[in-house]
Amino acid sequence: MTGAREFHPTHHSTTMKQTIGLTLVLMVSLLAARLALARNDKYLLPIKAALESTEAREKPDGSVRFFFGKQSPPPIVTKLATVTPHGKASTRRTDDMKACNAAFLAALVDFHKHAKKAGANAVVNIVSYDYKDVEMASSSEFECHAGAAAHAILRGDLVKIAVE
């Protein structure tokens, strides 16, 4: 037979081995690249600097008071609820600290919205949380985790406090 190709088992098995090998190398490379991008850097940042920053698009308007960690609020008239806002901000066009400040302020805006809806005028006992639900209570710092985005997870009690 002219023009017919002969079957060579060793030729096909070598090509198959090369294809499988290249596929495995490609898969491992993609996994390594994905893991390299999946960073989770932890920061403890000053609350005061975040409150004074200009990174956020929206800030609380001051009608709800915030008490961090063990700060003493005026007498509590009524405890209404406990909420856990999760502030997020992109780290693409800014550094981690600025993104963390924006995420923290986003969480405070969320607190503010929950408080207004519940009829609260303050949020007390505000603490930071990480992804493993480990609490960090501080009157001067908040915890933030940054990777592809910055995340500030807070928890606090919505309350009505006595008007001073």
* pLDDT on residue 151: 96
Q: Which CATH superfamily is domain 40-161 in?
A: Hypothetical protein apc22750. Chain B (3.30.110.70)
Residues contacting residue 79 through CB under 8 Å, at least 6 positions apart: 157, 158, 159
**Closest residue by Cα to residue 100 from 50, 32, 30:** 50
Model confidence band, residue 115 (pLDDT cutoffs 50, 70, 90): very high
Distance CA 63, CA 51 (A): 15
Model confidence band, residue 11 (pLDDT cutoffs 50, 70, 90): low
**Stronger pLDDT, 152 or 15, i.e. the higher one:** 152
Residue 130 has pLDDT above 70, yes or no: yes
**Stronger pLDDT, 9 or 61, i.e. the higher one:** 61
Amino acid at 62: G
Model confidence band, residue 35 (pLDDT cutoffs 50, 70, 90): very low
Residues contacting residue 162 through CB under 8 Å, at least 6 positions apart: 74, 75, 76, 77
Consecutive H or E run containing 87: strand 86-90
- The model's pLDDT over 52-108, given as tens digits with 9 standing for 90+, comes to 998 777 889 999 999 999 999 999 999 999 999 999 999 988 899 999 999 999 999
Residue 31 has pLDDT above 90, yes or no: no
Full-model pTM:
0.76
Q: Which two tokens stand for residue 82?
A: 């406990």
Distance CA 36, CA 41 (A): 12
**Stronger pLDDT, 38 or 3, i.e. the higher one:** 38
CB atoms within 10 A of CB 5: 6
Provide the sign of the torsion angle of the four alpha carbons 155, 158, 162, 164, taken in this order: positive
